[in-house]
């Protein structure tokens, strides 16, 4: 059993007068302070102060008594356990999973404790909440088009960061003025087990179950286990857990790509080398079916043969193998995209001679070493029309190159523009792809991506978005035959340079505002934060004591969407694409350029609806 054995008793925080009154009568102040325990899938965010959540009586994953999961080999399933407390709160809470076992064969799911070990791992996290007040929620603009397309719940204590059970435990003071209803003694939990839960609130716990890859030692069938909740060292609740392992294998390689940029993480892990931090980012991204690329030395320098040869294992897949310490989803597959330069950095030089020499070197290296990788020159970020002449000049130096460098594609984050046709090869639009221009953009080997998220066209990246916002973006990739979703940042732990705080480090565990500009309401909560730091040298009281990159609920829903897209492709091979799209349309009838910016979102924001569609697709696959 994956049960923490350390049960440290905490102070009850009950006023002494109450204690003196209760103890003579034999009452135990903390007895039965776990008021209720229930479960749900991975497609919802249960706010901390939401005692009457509509899914607590039953949902797709929870029938009111038991948890039911179903998945393919090499798939990762996830669910949430919500612990509700009474008026006094509850101390020393821990959650454990009794490994599911196949009663016929004795095969067990779970038991492995290696971070990047064989599939079969069970991981448990506590959910960390960020407070968004009435004066702090993200306004319409970059992340949703109008009040009609806003997320349904935008204020309150929103769960996002997922803290591993083996992280540092204890409490940290709540910053002054952050919480209008401070926690008892003004403290917040660090999240490692055991945890204290304040009075009359929810505390969410997240469980990942990595289903086996080995189809011989783990036959398909039903595996029975349980989820246990301990309070002050005693078993308080045990919920049956049923996992049905289906006879099908989820591919390692993704049919589409989530490409995410990361940077500025090295100083958070002073005990690790740059190579170790890079590996940690790459591995954690790969586990969640994301390509972490763009923020590395190889992208930020002029062509260097030694640097590129060192980077090559990430591109050909040899870095993602057991020999290099990685096992799990995406094992043995390489990254699909490589930006030369990032956000318009001048790695290609500033003269025609420099640009043509550099383009020759890049094209020759990729043609020789990893010809299947999509590489391009990220010439400039979000260019205004006034810079179009500059783009034509610089891209023209590439196109007119008499050598092999003429084949270097040119990329920018802009929607398809007639003025730049023949100059830009790969486009990436903030509000999604304009479907009418997709074929034209792909002419002569070009492509058209979307990046970030702008409701109602696609799922938003901000903290206030529905849990399924990131899930649907992979559904969009499949349904509309789009190859890539580019996410501008995953480790935006420093304030953006455009904002009033410049490059100061943020306290991402307490403040929801992660992107701000000068001017009223020009900011985004959680923008650029998909991972959280396990170490926090700039705010030592927030240090979780782990040389690890910590996940988030948004990250888990990216993984869920990417897995869904592979299930769609598997179902398409059985029933045809038209049938799969027909099923998808039950929950996502329209998206991207099919809707106007001011419209409400046309897709469901209920995670159960997507799980029902997934079940239909699984039935097709295993029929």
Provide the strand spans (E) within 298-455: 337-340, 374-380, 410-412, 426-429, 447-451
Question: pTM for this structure?
Answer: 0.93
Residue 277 has pLDDT above 50, yes or no: yes
Rounded to whole angstroms, how far apart are CA atoms 142 and 265? 25
Residue 171 has pLDDT above 90, yes or no: no
**Contact indicator for 172, 541 with CB cutoff of 8 Å:** yes
Rounded to whole angstroms, how far apart are CA atoms 494 and 229? 37
* Kind and range of the H or E run holding 221: strand 221-231
* Kind and range of the H or E run holding 423: none
**Contact indicator for 172, 487 with CB cutoff of 8 Å:** no
Full set of structural domains in the chain with CATH: 16-247 (2.60.40.10), 257-609 (3.20.20)
pLDDT digits (tens, 9 = 90+) for 312-332: 999 999 999 999 999 889 999
> What's the pLDDT score for residue 190?
95
| Partners of residue 529 on adjacent β-strands | 491
DSSP 85-123: E-TT-EEEEEEEEEEEE-TTT--BS-----TT--TT-EE
Given phi > 0 = left and psi -120 to 50 = alpha, else beta, which region is 110?
A: left
- Among 25-29, 208-212, 539-543, where is mean pLDDT lowest? 25-29
Residue 501 has pLDDT above 80, yes or no: no
Rounded to whole angstroms, how far apart are CA atoms 280 and 273? 11
Average pLDDT over residues 536-564: 97
Residue 600 has pLDDT above 70, yes or no: yes
Rounded to whole angstroms, how far apart are CA atoms 599 and 587? 17
> What's the pLDDT score for residue 177?
58
**Contact indicator for 61, 79 with CB cutoff of 8 Å:** yes
Instruction: Take residue 135 and report the two structure tokens written for it.
Output: 């004066």
Q: Which of 173, 154, 168 is nearest to 512 (CA)?
A: 154
Rounded to whole angstroms, how far apart are CA atoms 69 and 615? 10
> What's the pLDDT score for residue 449?
97
**Contact indicator for 293, 520 with CB cutoff of 8 Å:** no
Instruction: Take residue 496 and report the two structure tokens written for it.
Output: 């953006």
Rounded to whole angstroms, how far apart are CA atoms 370 and 391? 28
pLDDT digits (tens, 9 = 90+) for 109-124: 987 666 665 556 899 9
Distances from the Cα of 146 to the Cαs of 225, 431, 434, in angstroms?
46, 13, 19
pLDDT digits (tens, 9 = 90+) for 192-212: 999 999 999 999 999 999 999
Rounded to whole angstroms, how far apart are CA atoms 239 and 34? 14
Distances from the Cα of 155 to the Cαs of 42, 50, 135, 136, in angstroms?
20, 12, 9, 8
**Contact indicator for 92, 232 with CB cutoff of 8 Å:** yes
> What's the pLDDT score for residue 136?
86
Rounded to whole angstroms, how far apart are CA atoms 408 and 280? 30
> What's the pLDDT score for residue 115?
60
């Amino acid at each position: 059993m994956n049960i923490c054995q350390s049960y440290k008793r905490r102070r009850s925080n009950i006023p002494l007068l109450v204690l003196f009154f209760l103890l003579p009568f034999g009452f135990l102040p903390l007895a039965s302070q776990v008021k209720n325990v229930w479960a749900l899938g991975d497609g919802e965010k249960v706010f901390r102060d939401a005692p009457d959540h509509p899914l607590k009586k039953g949902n797709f994953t929870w029938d009111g008594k038991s948890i039911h999961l179903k998945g393919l080999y090499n798939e990762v399933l996830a669910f949430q356990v919500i612990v509700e407390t009474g008026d006094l709160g509850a101390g020393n809470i821990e959650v454990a999973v009794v490994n599911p076992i196949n009663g016929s064969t004795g095969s067990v799911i779970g038991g492995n404790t290696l971070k990047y070990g064989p599939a079969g791992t069970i991981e448990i996290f506590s959910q960390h909440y960020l407070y968004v007040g009435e004066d702090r929620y993200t306004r319409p603009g970059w992340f949703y088009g109008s009040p009609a397309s806003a997320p349904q719940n935008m204020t309150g204590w929103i769960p996002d960061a997922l803290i591993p059970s083996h992280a540092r435990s204890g409490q940290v003071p709540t910053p002054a003025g952050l919480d209008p209803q401070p926690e008892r003694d003004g403290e917040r939990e660090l999240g490692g087990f055991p945890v204290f839960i304040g009075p009359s609130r929810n505390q969410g716990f997240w469980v990942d179950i990595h289903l086996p890859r080995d189809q011989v030692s783990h036959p398909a069938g039903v595996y029975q286990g349980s989820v246990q909740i301990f309070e002050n060292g005693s078993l308080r609740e045990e919920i049956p857990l049923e996992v049905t392992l289906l006879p099908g294998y989820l591919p390692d390689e993704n049919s589409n790509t989530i490409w995410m940029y990361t940077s500025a993480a090295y100083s958070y892990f002073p005990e690790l080398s740059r190579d170790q931090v890079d590996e940690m980012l790459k591995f954690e991204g790969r586990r969640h079916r994301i390509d972490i690329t763009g923020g590395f030395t190889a992208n930020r320098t002029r062509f260097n043969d030694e640097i590129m040869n060192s980077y090559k294992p990430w591109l050909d897949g040899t870095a993602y193998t057991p020999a290099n310490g990685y096992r799990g989803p995406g094992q043995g597959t390489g990254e699909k995209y490589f930006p030369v330069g990032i956000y318009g950095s001048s790695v290609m030089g500033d003269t025609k001679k420099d640009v043509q020499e550099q383009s020759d070197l890049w094209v020759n290296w990729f043609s020789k070493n990893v010809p299947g990788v999509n590489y391009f020159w990220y010439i400039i970020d979000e260019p205004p029309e006034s810079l179009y002449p500059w783009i034509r000049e610089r891209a023209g130096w590439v196109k007119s190159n008499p050598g092999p460098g003429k084949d270097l594609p040119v990329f920018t984050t802009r929607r398809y523009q007639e003025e730049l046709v023949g100059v830009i090869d790969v486009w990436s639009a903030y509000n999604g792809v304009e479907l009418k221009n997709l074929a034209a953009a792909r002419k002569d080997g070009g492509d058209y991506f979307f990046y970030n998220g702008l409701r109602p066209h696609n799922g938003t990246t901000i903290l206030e978005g529905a849990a399924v916002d990131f899930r649907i973006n992979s559904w969009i990739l499949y349904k509309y035959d789009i190859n890539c979703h580019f996410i501008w940042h995953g480790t935006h732990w420093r304030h953006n340079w455009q904002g009033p705080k410049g490059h100061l480090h943020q306290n991402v565990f307490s403040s929801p505002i992660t992107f701000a500009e000068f001017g009223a309401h020009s900011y985004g909560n959680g923008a650029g934060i998909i991972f959280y730091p396990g170490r926090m040298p700039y705010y030592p009281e927030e240090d979780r004591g782990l040389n690890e990159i910590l996940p988030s609920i948004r990250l888990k829903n990216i993984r869920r969407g990417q897995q869904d897209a592979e299930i769609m492709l598997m179902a398409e091979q059985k029933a045809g694409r038209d049938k799969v799209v027909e099923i998808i349309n039950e929950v996502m009838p329209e998206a991207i350029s099919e809707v106007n910016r001011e419209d409400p979102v046309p897709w469901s924001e209920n995670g159960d609806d997507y799980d029902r569609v997934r079940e239909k697709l699984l039935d097709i696959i295993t029929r």
